[in-house]
C-alpha cells in the first residue's frame, strides 16, 4: 500500500498559482494518483486523477513525472474559496483500503 507524504500546510494569495506536491516513493504499477478537496464540515470532493504525465480539467492540473514517485497538483489563480484541505491518494481504486492521510491545509489570503 503506497504511503503518501505532502506538506501539512501552505499559504498563498488570491490570484496566485498554487502547487502542492505529494511524494509516493513506493507507488505500484497499477496505482493511480487521485486528489480530493475537503471544506470544513463537508465530505471530500474529487478534484482530479491521473496515472502519468499531465492531466488537466476545469479545476486543476496534475503533473506526474516519468518515475511516478511524486505528483503535483496545480491550482491556477486561486481565490479565497479554495481554502481547504487537499488530500493526495495513491491506489488502484479496486483495493478499497485507500488511505487519505493528513492532507495539506491550504490557506488563501486576500
Partner 1 sequence: EADIYQTPRYLVIGTGKKITLECSQTMGHDKMYWYQQDPGMELHLIHYSYGVNSTEKGDLSSESTVSRIRTEHFPLTLESARPSHTSQYLCASSEFKDRDEQYFGPGTRLTVT
Binding positions for partner 1, rule: CB under 8 A:
32, 34, 36, 41-46, 49, 87, 92-94, 96-103
Task: Pick between residue 16 and residue 56 the one whose CB is nearest to partner 1.
Answer: 56
Strands laid side by side in the 70-75 sheet: 18-23, 70-75, 61-64, 53-56
- Give the phi and the psi of residue 7 in degrees, each rounded to 5: -60, 145
- In the complex, what is the shortest distance from the CB of residue 78 to partner 1, in angstroms, rounded to a whole number? 21
Closest approach of partner 1 to the CB of residue 28, in Å = 13
Report the residue number, 44 or 69, with the smaller CB distance to partner 1.
44
Helix (H) or strand (E) holding 36: strand 32-38
Amino acid at each position: 500500500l503506497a504511503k503518501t507524504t505532502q506538506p501539512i500546510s501552505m499559504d498563498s494569495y488570491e490570484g496566485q498559482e498554487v502547487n502542492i506536491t505529494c511524494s509516493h516513493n513506493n507507488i505500484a504499477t497499477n496505482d493511480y494518483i487521485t486528489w480530493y478537496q475537503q471544506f470544513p464540515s463537508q465530505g471530500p470532493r474529487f478534484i482530479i486523477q491521473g496515472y502519468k504525465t499531465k492531466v488537466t480539467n476545469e479545476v486543476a492540473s496534475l503533473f506526474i513525472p516519468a518515475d511516478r514517485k511524486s505528483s503535483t497538483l496545480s491550482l491556477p489563480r486561486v481565490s479565497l474559496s479554495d481554502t481547504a484541505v487537499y488530500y493526495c491518494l495513491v491506489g488502484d481504486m479496486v483495493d478499497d483500503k485507500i488511505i487519505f492521510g493528513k492532507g495539506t491545509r491550504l490557506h488563501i489570503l486576500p
